[in-house]
Structure 1
Amino acid sequence: MDLMTTTPVLADAAAYAQAVEEAKQAAAAYYAGGTSPLDDDAYDRLGRAVEAWESAHPEQIRADSPTGKVAGGAATGDVPHSRPMLSLDNVFSAEQFTTWAASLERRIGRPVERWSVEPKLDGLAVAARYEQGRPARLITRGDGTAGEDVSHAIGTIAGLPERLTQPLTVEIRGEVLMTTEQFETANSLRVAHGGEPFANPRNAAAGTLRAKDRPYTVEMTFFAYDVLSPSGDPSGDRGDAASEALAGLDDLAHSELIARATALGLHTSGATAVPGRTAAGTDELLDRVAEIAALRAELPFGIDGIVVKADLAADRRDAGAGSRAPRWAVAYKLPAVEKVTKLLGVEWNVGRTGVIAPRAVLEPVEIDGSTVTYATLHNPADITRRDLRLGDHVMVYKAGDIIPRIEAPVAHLRTGEEQPIAFPETCPQCGSEIDRSEQRWRCVRGRDCHLVASLSYAVGRDQLDIEGLGASRIVQLVDAALVTDLADLFTLTREQLLGLERMGETSADNLLAAIDTARARPLSRVLCALGVRGTGRSMSRRIARHFATMDAIRAADAEAMQRVEGIGTEKAPVIVAELAELGPVVDKLVAAGVSMTEPGATPPPPPGAETDASAAAPAGAQAGPLAGLAVVVTGAMTGPLEALSRNQMNELIERAGGRSSSSVSRRTGLVVAGEKAGSKRTKAEELGVRLVDPAEFATLLGDYLPA
């Protein structure tokens, strides 16, 4: 796993001096109020360039250089720390980490017996001092020797309890951050009170922690990563029960200190999807790094890397610390998933259900190995809430396979030339009125607005797969008023088709045969073709396999719909309402002889009729050779699987009891790697996930393969 990012090269002393000034200004802006002209990745790259120059020209190092200083020398404070509160050095690849670890082991004269591996939370380091079990003072890291008193924030930070489980006088060190939800709330309140939105959760936490006398309160979250006695001397000197509880802290492994913090009622990463764990060697450690990196996109808070520490107290003691960072810990930085770029425009696209969706057009920027030129904007209310303007510098976030999104404008970079975003007055597709009653605007004509696109989607290869029905032919049918909805396709006659321009007898007969074949498609294909809001190919398969028949689907209320994997309280009523709205079309499809069952699936028992046996297995579940496995297909299929589309492969996986997935993680059970499989195969090898080629997969499926 090579996470190294390109380091810019400084050409001469003048470029070095300019880089130092830029780094100082960026650090000062961030630590003063949570603003910065640079995103995190750009600041890291600038810092590495300064370090590289200074390494090659030690005689020219400036006294005001941020290198080797806690917080880049930008933060100050007047509350002394009980012990220095240092930063961490960074590595950006497995090779760099291996070199760093070898250096540590040479320093202590032995192999590191055990490593602690935990997520590097993207927030602000603080020290929380408790007296008799109650929070008394909250201090920022500052310059490492003294910090700023931000005790006014006590009571607004989740994870810092009002009372510890023991009445101890103790210092807890950790990270204050904003979760994604807290960030959204913070920016909504900030804009509502006339302020500029924060660019990202990290800046929001930095600015909010220092803010006083606001007319509103914003919650943040604390994660503990260290426990110290109040004087910094863990031996204690009172001889009472409280002192005894703190005795020997310096002799505890880091993992034991985290367990101690948890026992005191403090919030740690142990309660998250990426808990801190120990690793016995470098290989196991790098596996854990890969595991945390794979889960990054799913976390409700930001991480920008993984913190690796020598776990045992003896190793930490013998390694010691430098002026800026401990020598026994390092931050293994992950590739940036957010960058600053410029918002050039907004496109308004109308979906097949009539939803009018804005899309941001961006100045191209490389994020996490790919070039991003578009980002989602969700809806008009989202644009207003974020106070976005054309020409804004915006923070764009991308993680995993998720569509990039704009977090917020970088308001302090505004020049005054930015322009408001114009919202459409009428439907951009057909010119009809717009229904603005919900956050997601919709053309009042609904599906009829985009009938050609809706029908083109419905007859596509992954839905009903009706050969001969291209967009131009569908336009003919709609313009001739022969088709007003999906069901009308199945009542077309030979005479009607022959009346169309450029439609001969052979073409008409072939099209009617293709339509007749489509009547037998499984329910999941029909459901997908209907274009129910909140569903797609994979969700349509889940719904069809859960309920087995269209009658059971239409009879389901929101509570029953939530029993389908991946459908929550918000999506369920939307799907139920959509199906009710589509009722007349479904009735016409049934009358036309279109299949309304899913092969191999079993309908759920009626309410109140569940038995212990039925409760043990979800409706639609079956054994099969892939039972319980998450399966990823990558590369080109060959042999018996060569003719199958990716959607057909996913259908095949789910008929055989598995669950199709698009990304490889520790939870993946099997990867089918065809020709030119690429990065997903590599990732499976790194994680030790079982790999099979198409021929082996076909043998494994046996009778489940299509005839």
Structure 2
Amino acid sequence: MSKETEKLEAKARLEKVRELIRYHDHRYHVLDDPVISDGEYDLLFQELLALEARYPDLVSADSPSHRLGGSVAEGFTAVRHVHPMLSLDNIFSTIEFQSFQEKLQRFLRTDLPLRFMTEPKVDGLAVELVYRQGFLHTGSTRGDGLIGENITAQLKTVKAIPLRLQGDQDIPIPDELYVRGEVFLSKQGFQRLNQLRHQQGEPLFANPRNAAAGSLRQLDPRITARRPLDFFVYGVANPEVLPAEGQEALLTILSRIGFPVSPLVKGCGLPGEVEQQYQQVLALRHALDYEVDGLVVKVDTFALQRRLGFTARAPRWAVAWKFPATQATTKIEAVDFQVGRTGVVTPVALLAPVEIDGVVVQRATLHNQDEMKRKDLRLGDTVLVQRAGDVIPEVIKAVPELRNGDEQPIMFPASCPECGHPLARVQGEAAIRCVNEHCRAQQQQRLIYFAGKSGLDLDGLGKKNVEQLVRSGVVGDIADFFFLDAGQLASLEGWGEKSARNVVAAIEDRKRIPLARFLAALGIRHVGEVTAAALAEHFTSLHELMAADEEQFRRVDGIGEQVAASLSLFFQDPDVHRMIERLEKAGLVVVAADKGRSQPLAGRVFLFTGSLQTMSREEAKRSVKVRGGQVANTVSERVTDVVVGEKAGGKMKKAHELQLPLLSEREFIQLVSAVEE
């Protein structure tokens, strides 16, 4: 290919990329309704910069590389920024950060290590607050970096933003101060807002960032005031008016005069500290109660910042080290309907493979029939998919603008896809379930649950191995696990003598099991760890419990009519009685709680932060108390264990500073189960 042809192709691609970026900028900054993920947008912008760097003569005056997207929304007046609100260049790897450092050192002509200030890149809406004589005068959006929207009335409703600055003798308030920061919505606030919009029949926000932007763009400030918005300050446009020589000192001053500063900001002066902080904030990412999509790294000293200066669109002295994207767009290729251990049928989207947060995602939950209808999802749709930590990926929304007419409705089956039994829906429940207790799919899921981490945790019997045992006819019910022998297992495909012996040894190790753990492992509907513990405290043996009727179950503390009915139905089943008889014949001993023994968690103090997925906060606290432990509501040195759920907040940060032991929800469940042994 000739250079002339290559350049013509590059020019055509440049025009296409610019057009795409302008379109997505408008969706993101003006409509607050993006149709691609941040990661995909970043790739487009990186392609634009690379092409313009290779062909500088093709750079146009209206290129998105010279602008930051966004225009004044109808109904808002324009505000010209005295100091442009520039964007930040993005980096995505340790190698790119090292290159950034080396570039700074070359520019400054020094080999000495630089001191950086690191701050979490909160995913919200950047705003500028202009204070005159200490009072909030004007608040505006970033807009295109030069001109933003006047949203002063809306910003005054955000309680975290001070309307008047508090100075003292050491920090006199300047005549004029241009403060920059991020308005955001907490994850819990986002969920509450979307629940309300769902009830009112309004379209849902795709993520907290768009919810925050949509809240600030309400022409009626009273609507904004009802949204639980928050704010973190990250800098000022005119730092020379404050007695600070660098970013760290500036944030300290801003905190003293009334602005909230992220508790995760940190100065980094030693080699490797920035990389360590990146990994630490990345690890905390999903436990925080607000969205963080990267780490902002700034040269700390203002004198060096002035020497380094700016490019056309970004400061040279700062970068945003982005985290792997948690959202991406892909297509629904098919839908699989899975039957769970309690009979609930869950639709699962089979997706065109897409990488999210460093993992290739090919399946995502669609939750239930109501959710599919609400989101108007169809086969062949381009959809936005989200993944967060260990949470199952989910389809957030469809992108109807990309439909071509070939998409088809998703039909929920009328009968069980595994056993053919008619499906039923209990009034008041969203779940549609197979009510056939002998459904083979349900039985297999119960076996997987029994052998898994939430059950007896039988080493070597993970999901795939249990499925193989069921397929081969070796295991049909729970009791069959305890009759397995090493020779039988070793003869199966993929098994060796050592792995077979290890599994048999793991099963042998579980032949003496506490009653509470055994009950929880059975997978009885509505019976989890806490309810199982309550039953074990109330009844003196497994056989006394099996002989109880519904009324006796209702006498157990914390058990209502629904749970009592489920227990009664389960233990009246003749197949359950035969299974337990076989378990006892195999040598299983179910040990009831010794009412006179010392409590296993005595002397330990637990603190819970964040939302738990498998139990309520009250159930978790009760599971500690019934085992002799204590529960604290505030972080202190007397706390021995901190249980961290989803969207954990400031308590986790303080616990980390005090170096208190942190437990995930899964580790907590394993702990309260293990201490009964």
1:181 to 160, 185, 188: 188
- Looking at structure 2, the residues matched to 86 and 96 of structure 1 have their Cα atoms a distance apart, in angstroms, of 21
Q: 1:58 to 1:130 in 2, by over 3 A?
A: closer
The residue type paired with residue 253 of structure 2 is R
User: 31, 50, 64: which one pairs with 1:52?
Assistant: 50
Separation (CA, whole Å) in 2 of partners of 1:321 and 1:213:
37
**2:302 is equivalent to residue 313 of structure 1:** yes
Q: Find the aligned partners of 2:270 and 2:311 in 1 and give their Cα distance.
A: 25
Matched with 1:28 is: 26
1:350 matched to 2:339: yes
* Alpha-carbon distance in 1 for matches of 2:99, 2:475: 67
Contact 1:223 1:267 in 2 (8 A): yes
Aligned to 1:258: 251
Q: Is 1:125 equivalent to 2:126 in the alignment?
A: yes
Q: Distance in 1 between matches of 2:260 and 2:72?
A: 26
| 2:315 equivalent in structure 1 | 326
CA–CA separation in structure 2 for the residues paired with 1:330 and 1:336: 17
Query: Are residues 1:595 and 2:593 paired?
Result: no
Give, in angstroms, the shift of residue 471 of structure 1: 3.4
Taking the aligned partners of 2:306 and 2:475, their CA distance within structure 1 comes to 80
Counterpart contact for 1:341–1:396, Cα < 8 Å: yes
Q: How far did 1:374 drift?
A: 1.0
Distance 1:363 1:455, change over 3 A: closer
Indicate conservation of the 8 Å contact 2:537/2:593, yes or no: no
Partner of 1:551, secondary structure, is: helix
Relative to structure 1, the CA distance from residue 416 to residue 615 in structure 2 (aligned partners, 3 Å threshold; closer, same or farther) is: same
**Gap change, CA 1:489 and 1:284, over 3 Å in 2:** closer
**Structure 1 counterpart of 2:391:** 402
2:531–2:559 contact (8 Å) kept in structure 1: no
Which secondary structure does the structure 2 equivalent of 1:323 belong to? coil
Instruction: Give CA-to-partner distance per residue, 1:394-450, whole Å, 9 cap, x none.
Output: 211123333212222335445566555434445555214222422344444568785
Contact 2:158–2:231, Cα closer than 8 Å, also in 1: no
Question: Cα deviation per residue 1:154-197 (whole Å; 9 max; x = unaligned)?
Answer: 35535324565569674431112333333334444445555443
Q: Which moved more, 1:449-458 or 1:279-288?
A: 449-458
- Superposed, 1:274-289 pairs within 5 Å as 275-289=264-278
Query: Relative to 1, partners in 2 of residues 1:153 and 1:515: Cα closer, same or farther, differing over 3 Å?
Result: closer
1:71 to 68, 75, 85: 68
SS in 2 for 1:398: strand
Percent identity reads: 33
- 1:144 paired with 2:145, answer yes
Structure 2 residue 521 is matched with structure 1 residue 529: yes
CA contact (8 A) 1:345 1:361 kept: yes
Q: How far 1:388 sits from its partner (Å)?
A: 3.5
Distance change in 2, residues 1:368/1:517 (3 Å): closer
1:37 and 1:124, CA in 2 relative to 1: closer, same or farther beyond 3 A? same
Structure 1 residue 309: Cα displacement: 0.7
Specify whether residues 573 and 11 from structure 1 end up closer, same or farther in structure 2 by C-alpha distance, changes over 3 A only: farther
State the shift of 1:234 in Å. Answer: 5.0
Partner of 1:494: none
| Distance in 2 (alpha carbons) for counterparts of 1:396 and 1:301 | 19
How many Å separate the matches in 2 of 1:472 and 1:36?
A: 45
Alignment gaps of 5+ in structure 1:
1-8, 236-246, 478-482, 492-512, 556-571, 623-627, 631-657, 665-703
- 1:457 corresponds to which letter in structure 2? I
Query: Alpha-carbon deviations, 1:447-502, whole Å to 9, x = none?
Result: 8785532553366487566999953798998xxxxx8xx689999xxxxxxxxxxx
Aligned to 2:657: none
Cα distance between partner residues in 1 of 2:388 and 2:662: 22
Q: What secondary structure is seen at the aligned counterpart in 2 of 1:397? A: strand
- Aligned counterparts of 1:447 and 1:130: Cα–Cα separation in 2: 70
Note the C-alpha offset of 1:288: 0.6
Instruction: Give 1:22 shift.
Output: 1.6
Distance in 2 of aligned mates of 1:183 and 1:17: 37
One-letter amino acid matched to 1:582: L
Offset, 1:16: 2.0
Within a 5 Å distance, the mapping from 1:218-229 to structure 2 comes to: 219=227, 221-228=229-236
Q: Are the aligned partners of 1:174 and 1:222 in contact in 2 as well (CA < 8 Å)?
A: no
- Answer whether contact 1:347 1:361 (CA < 8 A) is retained: yes
Q: 1:135 to 1:597 in 2, by over 3 A?
A: farther
Counterpart contact for 2:385–2:396, Cα < 8 Å: yes
What pairs with 1:653-668 in structure 2 (closer than 5 Å)? none
Q: In structure 1, the residue corresponding to 2:388 is in which secondary structure? A: coil
The SS at the match of 1:407 is strand
SS in 1 for 2:330: strand
Mapped partners of 2:666, 2:451: distance in 1: 24
Match of 2:424 in 1: 433
Distance 1:306 1:226, change over 3 A: closer
- Kept in 2: contact 1:435–1:443 (CA 8 A): no
8 Å contact 1:124–1:175 — kept in the other structure?
Answer: yes
Residue number in structure 1 paired with 2:646: none
2:287 equivalent in structure 1: 298
* 1:367 CA displacement: 2.2
SS in 2 for 1:348: strand
Coordinate RMSD, CA, aligned: 4.9
Contact 1:223–1:269 (CA under 8 A) maintained in structure 2 = no
Bigger mean CA deviation after superposition, 132-141 or 358-367: 132-141
The CA distance in 1 between the partners of 2:299 and 2:597, in whole Å, is 54
Alignment partner for residue 15 of structure 1, among 13, 17, 27?
13
For 1:101, give the aligned amino acid.
Answer: Q
Distance change >3 Å, CA 101–CA 389, structure 1 → 2: same
2-structure distance, mates of 1:135, 1:446? 65
1:115–1:281 Cα contact (<8 Å) kept: no
Counterpart of 2:227 in structure 1: which amino acid?
E
SS in 1 for 2:307: helix
One-letter code aligned to 1:287? Q
Residue correspondence of structure 1 range 530-679 to structure 2 within 5 A = 530-532=522-524, 551-552=536-537, 578=563, 581-582=566-567, 593=584, 594-597=588-591, 605=599, 613=603
Instruction: Give 1:211's match in structure 2, choosing from 201, 207, 218.
Output: 218
Aligned length: 551
Counterpart contact for 1:359–1:375, Cα < 8 Å: yes
In the TM superposition, 1:364-513 aligns within 5 A as 364-414=353-403, 418-425=407-414, 427-429=416-418, 430-444=421-435, 452-453=443-444, 456-457=447-448, 460=451, 470-471=469-470
List alignment gaps of at least 5 residues for structure 2: 1-6, 484-504, 541-556, 607-623, 630-639, 643-660, 668-674
Task: Give the partner amino acid of 1:261.
Answer: L
1:153 correspondence with 2:145: no
Of stretches 515-524 and 387-396 in structure 1, the one that deviates more from structure 2 is: 515-524
Q: Secondary structure at the match of 1:103?
A: helix
For residues 258 and 621 of structure 1, what CA distance do their matches in structure 2 show? 44
| 1:125–1:175 contact (8 Å) kept in structure 2 | yes
Please tell me whether residue 90 in structure 1 is matched to residue 90 in structure 2: yes
Closer, same or farther: CA 40–615 of 1 in aligned 2, 3 Å = closer
Cα distance between partner residues in 1 of 2:27 and 2:369: 31
CA deviations over 1:67-101 (Å, ceiling 9, x no partner):
2x241586798312232211111112111111111
CA 1:56–1:357 in 2, change beyond 3 Å: closer, same or farther? same
Q: TM-score, normalised by structure 2?
A: 0.67
1:38 matched residue in structure 2 = 36
Q: 1:252 to 1:379 in 2, by over 3 A?
A: farther
- Structure 1 counterpart of 2:94, which letter? A
Q: Secondary structure at the match of 1:181?
A: helix
CA–CA distance in 2 between the matches of 1:95 and 1:490? 52
Distance 1:364 1:22 in 2: 23
Asked if structure 2 preserves the Cα contact closer than 8 Å seen for 1:179 and 1:201, the reply is: yes
